[in-house]
């Protein structure tokens, strides 16, 4: 970026500072051999960025790259635990906000600033959650919706096998991708004796 000095006519080179007297332009060029329409190529680019974002989140927010040791067995074990926790957390947060992916850096503070207490009375179990987070009211409304949904699954699908109940829960968590369809359990192939 150059700026002409008024008194000497000499050009000055500025590296990091941008002030209101400078005209700043930013260019991006995408070169591809694809023959798709520009809108389709843009969607491919966004999809790729979305999939890379999950790996970035696993590495930087969940510590997938943080635990390494000479013992390959322990490293693999920790990687599996982190992946499992990430999957469970993502599904639970998807129950709260099914329309979008919420990264751990934004969802964990809301959830971890809440303290819960389980009480039992008259053959009923109740969990009381108190949050000190600034967005606690919004969080409370969403948790209430999840609670109502889980009660509905428990009461309505009580006679169903657990695999069908899981299909209902996953259908709700993955609503954005399934577009409202309900998952069905896979057909089991009978074992031939």
Give dist(CA 143, CA 56) in Å, integer: 27
CB atoms within 10 A of CB 52: 10
Give dist(CA 114, CA 131) in Å, integer: 4
Nearest-CA neighbor of 129 among 137, 121, 168?
A: 137
Residue 8, SS3?
coil
Distances, alpha carbon 114 to alpha carbons 109, 127, 146, in Å: 9, 12, 16
CB 53 within 8 A of CB 46: no
Q: What pLDDT score was predicted for residue 1?
A: 44
Residue 125, SS3?
strand
CB 146 within 8 A of CB 162: no
What residues does 119 pair with on adjacent strands? 126
Q: What pLDDT score was predicted for residue 192?
A: 59
Give dist(CA 101, CA 94) in Å, integer: 7
Give dist(CA 73, CA 84) in Å, integer: 17
Q: What pLDDT score was predicted for residue 191?
A: 57
Q: What pLDDT score was predicted for residue 20?
A: 73
How buried is residue 41: exposed, middle or buried, by Cβ count under 10 Å (0-12/13-18/19+)? middle
- Domain residue spans of the chain: 115-184
pLDDT 10s digits, 52-106: 777 788 887 787 776 677 888 888 888 888 889 888 888 888 888 888 878 888 8
Give dist(CA 108, CA 61) in Å, integer: 10
Q: Which ranges of the chain would DSSP assign to H, the alpha helix?
A: 38-60, 72-96, 104-112, 136-156, 162-173, 175-178
Q: Which residues of the chain have pLDDT under 70?
A: 1-9, 12-19, 66-67, 188-193
């Amino acid at each position: 970026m150059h700026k002409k000095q008024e008194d000497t006519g000499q050009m000055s080179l500025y590296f990091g500072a941008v002030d209101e007297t400078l005209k700043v332009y930013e260019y991006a060029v995408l070169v591809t051999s694809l023959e798709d329409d520009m809108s389709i190529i843009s969607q491919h680019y966004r999809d790729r960025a979305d999939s890379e974002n999950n790996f970035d989140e696993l590495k930087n927010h969940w510590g997938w790259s943080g635990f390494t040791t000479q013992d390959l067995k322990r490293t693999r074990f920790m990687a599996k635990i982190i992946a499992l926790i990430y999957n469970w957390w993502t599904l639970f947060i998807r129950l709260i906000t099914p329309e979008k992916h919420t990264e751990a850096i934004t969802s964990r503070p809301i959830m971890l600033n809440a303290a819960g207490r389980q009480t039992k009375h008259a053959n009923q179990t109740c969990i009381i959650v108190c949050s000190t987070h600034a967005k606690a009211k919004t969080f409370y409304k969403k948790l209430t919706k999840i609670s109502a949904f889980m009660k509905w699954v428990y009461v309505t699908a009580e006679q169903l096998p657990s695999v069908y109940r899981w299909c209902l829960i996953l259908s709700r968590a993955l609503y954005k991708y399934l577009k409202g369809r309900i998952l069905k359990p896979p057909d089991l192939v009978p074992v031939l004796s």
